[in-house]
Amino acid sequence: MTQDNAPDISNVVGEVANTEKPKVVPGSQYDAESIQVLEGLEAVRKRPGMYIGSTGTQGLVNLIREIVDNAIDEALAGHCDTIDVTLNPDGSATVVDNGRGIPVGIHQKEGIPAVTVVMTKLHAGGKFEHSAYKVSGGLHGVGASVVNALSEWLEIEVRQNGKVHWQRFEKGTPVSGLEVRGDANQTGTTVTFKPDSTVMTETVFDHDALHHTLREQAFLTKNVRFTLRDLRPENPEDQRYDEFHFEGGIVEFVQFVNEGKTPQHEPPIYIERERDDVIIELALQYNASYGESVFTYVNNINTVEGGTHLAGFRAALTGSVNAYGQTYNLLKDLKDGGLSGEDVREGLTAVLSMKIPNPQFESQTKIRLGNPEIRGLVQSVVNEALAEYFEENPQVVRKVIQKCVEAAHARIAARKARDLTRRKSILDGGGLPTKLADCSITDPAACEVFLVEGDSAGGSAKQARDRRFQAVLPMWGKMMNVEKARIDKVLGNDKFQPVIQALGAGIGEDFGVERLRYHKIIIMADADVDGSHIRTLLLTFFFRLMRPLVEHGNVYIAQPPLFLIKKGKEEHWVYTVDQRDEILKRYEGQRGVSVQRYKGLGEMSAEQLWRTTMNPETRTLLRVSLDDAVEADRIVTVLLGGDVAPRRRYIEQNARYVKDLDVHAA
């Protein structure tokens, strides 16, 4: 949840000229003395977001991931088959592996134990030359030292050479030497650390986020068993234990993502090849849906923005399907001669996992692969493997091509629908929907648009808004479920057309976030079942057909109040049931207290709507983020797909977590 601030629109609305002579502000001098050198781990503590992405919930997950990645590197090298993560009652976390253990001997150059070097020096590790690790996710050698730097305290235990070696650090600095504490009958490393609240804005580990992360790693390393223990709840019955071990590896990964979808063939296509010291592992399966779910990894790191390996795979898949279709005259219905990449990827679920000795990532967060040679290598290998598979499984490929041809026809129909929409826009004299109340500012960074449920609430919102930077688009009726529809149907839908026109960034393959007319898209719906349904359908629409909006954090959910509590002249706008109960406790034995439940936005006046829900100075917005694309993809399918059984299972498994159930009376 984020409390947002009013946008800075002074540069657009106009500024008052400052005619005074500039004053010298103390500390504003920029000279040689201004240059600050951060020694050791100071840089990490000063700018933690540069190393772990954020200081919030995801940053905490990344701290554990840094230690887990080191254990996975041991597994990839063939020296580890068990990795355990425990969330402790004191707020710390423990990661245990049964690898070789970080070396404890004296480092020749530094003159201190090698494990101390690893924990206190940036860019120190066994990943830079390949005698210890052929491939590694922890490429930069900063993982363990970054975790140490951002911890209130950290203790490491290394089981090696028949002994248990132990050392403690506080805020990255050793507070003890490396001590021998008993005998060990196995090897491995145990790291326990507590995040430092002075540098981390969040210090409570998110169990679900870790659950998803470790499950993903278990799919990618099929020979390793992962466990997650949450010992934080006082009641032992509430403590959770999860175990992840998938012998099928990424084949099971694809089947997991496809839960709730109807496969077009069984089992998934699986390819594993090694060339030029690069291991390529690919699993793919077509289903009856209309979306694309492709996930790529390099050395177990999720490359969420793809890169050269993804480009090579896409080129190989499109080329192979077209080549087979043309050879056997299966594309004769297509007038433009062939299938596009978009056609070939409709209904595709795929996981591409690469093991590369020298990956070139674009940043420490490793979200995009840059090795230019990998594209051609992947394309060549996948071309060969798919050609073999297609010749041996003609029934599968013919069924796939039939679906691709149907997708091509839908693409052509969608193009016609786009052209028709553009022509209508020109004839209408502008291209913006008639119900849109636009704002006067044209700078997208300063603008926001409210997608409001219903004409009544839309009318109130139009009166309440700040016309300079707030636009309002009323929406009426139930929109279609895009999880069950192709893009040509979506483009022809009168509920989604105004949204597409208002945002101005296109849709699907034509979407361009740089053309977006508003950088904040705020869904404002009633606080009831119907409102939740509309929010869900809109979020599904954005996720499937305008995903960069979610990835870039442009989508928000307004938080209108649930209750108004009055006592005389006192008014309390309340947003949760817990807040209501807390305020009502203040008025116990007292008379004249009224509680009004707000279900519809139309129940509030324009002034109330502005004060509680639209005013950037006082409102609360929920920012929609995409922390786990795999889980988001699966849940959207389970909840909105055509298969009822997975949805029923999900409801049965999670019904006990519902706190505030809003049910319509019959």
Q: Does the annotation mark 455 as catalytic?
A: no
Q: What's the 3-state SS for 138-157?
A: CCCCCHHHHHHHCEEEEEEE
**557 and 458, same structural domain?**
yes
Tell me the average pLDDT across 306-331.
Answer: 96
What's the gap between Cα 339 and its chain centre? 30
Please name which of 489, 253, 480, 269 lies closest in space to residue 385, comparing C-alpha atoms. Answer: 269
Q: 528, 551, 627, 643: which is the annotated catalytic residue? A: 528
**Residue 5 belongs to a domain:** no
**348 and 449, same structural domain?**
no
Boundary of a domain, candidates 225, 244, 263: 244
Q: Does the annotation mark 84 as catalytic?
A: no
**Residue 646 belongs to a domain:** no
**152 and 85, same structural domain?**
yes
**Residue 313 belongs to a domain:** yes
Contact 538, 466 (CB under 8 A): no
pLDDT at 30: 39
**192 and 58, same structural domain?**
yes
Q: 281, 526, 628, 633: which is the annotated catalytic residue? A: 526
Would you say residue 341 has pLDDT above 60? yes
- Local confidence band at 486 (pLDDT 50, 70, 90 cut-offs): confident
In Å, what is the CA distance from 170 to each residue of 51, 121, 145, 658? 19, 14, 12, 40
In Å, what is the CA distance from 450 to each residue of 144, 475, 502, 546, 621? 44, 10, 11, 17, 12
**206 and 157, same structural domain?**
yes
Q: Find the CATH number of the domain harbouring 176.
A: 3.30.565.10
Cβ contacts of residue 162 below 8 Å, gap of 6+?
183, 184, 185
Written as one letter, the residue type at 107 is H
Boundary of a domain, candidates 179, 211, 244: 244
**Residue 188 belongs to a domain:** yes
Give the whole-angstrom CA distance, residue 85 versus residue 65. Answer: 10
**What angle do the packed helices 250-257 and 207-220 form, to 10 degrees?**
130
Give the whole-angstrom CA distance, residue 493 versus residue 505. Answer: 17
Boundary of a domain, candidates 194, 212, 244: 244
pLDDT at 126: 54
**Residue 328 belongs to a domain:** yes
**146 and 292, same structural domain?**
no
Q: Does the annotation mark 643 as catalytic?
A: no
Residue 496 tokens read as 């989604």
In Å, what is the CA distance from 333 to each residue of 59, 123, 329? 51, 57, 9
- Local confidence band at 542 (pLDDT 50, 70, 90 cut-offs): very high
**261 and 173, same structural domain?**
no
**What angle do the packed helices 629-640 and 644-654 form, to 10 degrees?**
110
pLDDT tens-digit profile of 178-192? 999 999 999 999 999
Residue scoring higher pLDDT (27 or 83): 83
Q: Find the CATH number of the domain harbouring 614.
A: 3.40.50.670
**Residue 576 belongs to a domain:** no
Q: 81, 242, 530, 551: which is the annotated catalytic residue? A: 530
Domain carrying residue 386: 250-411
| Percent of the chain whose predicted confidence (pLDDT) is above 70 | 87
Would you say residue 3 has pLDDT above 80? no
**488 and 360, same structural domain?**
no
- Local confidence band at 17 (pLDDT 50, 70, 90 cut-offs): very low
Residue scoring higher pLDDT (294 or 19): 294
**Residue 648 belongs to a domain:** no
- Local confidence band at 663 (pLDDT 50, 70, 90 cut-offs): low
What's the gap between Cα 469 and its chain centre? 28
Contact 381, 387 (CB under 8 A): no
Residue scoring higher pLDDT (109 or 614): 614
pLDDT tens-digit profile of 487-538? 888 888 888 989 999 999 988 878 899 999 999 999 998 877 788 888 889 9
Q: 230, 346, 453, 628: which is the annotated catalytic residue? A: 453
Give the whole-angstrom CA distance, residue 344 versus residue 464. Answer: 47
Would you say residue 38 has pLDDT above 70? no
How many C-beta neighbours within 10 Å does residue 401 have? Answer: 21
pLDDT at 660: 58
pLDDT tens-digit profile of 199-227? 999 999 999 999 999 999 999 999 899 99
| Beta bridge pairs of residue 93 | 87, 193
Would you say residue 363 has pLDDT above 70? no
**161 and 77, same structural domain?**
yes
Residue 588 DSSP label = T
**400 and 438, same structural domain?**
no
pLDDT tens-digit profile of 574-584? 888 888 999 99
pLDDT tens-digit profile of 582-607? 999 988 878 889 998 887 787 888 99
**239 and 94, same structural domain?**
yes
Q: Find the CATH number of the domain harbouring 404.
A: 3.30.230.10
**605 and 468, same structural domain?**
yes
Total domain count for the chain?
3
**Residue 36 belongs to a domain:** no
pLDDT at 213: 93
Q: Does the annotation mark 208 as catalytic?
A: no
pLDDT tens-digit profile of 139-181? 334 689 999 999 999 999 999 999 999 999 999 999 999 999 9
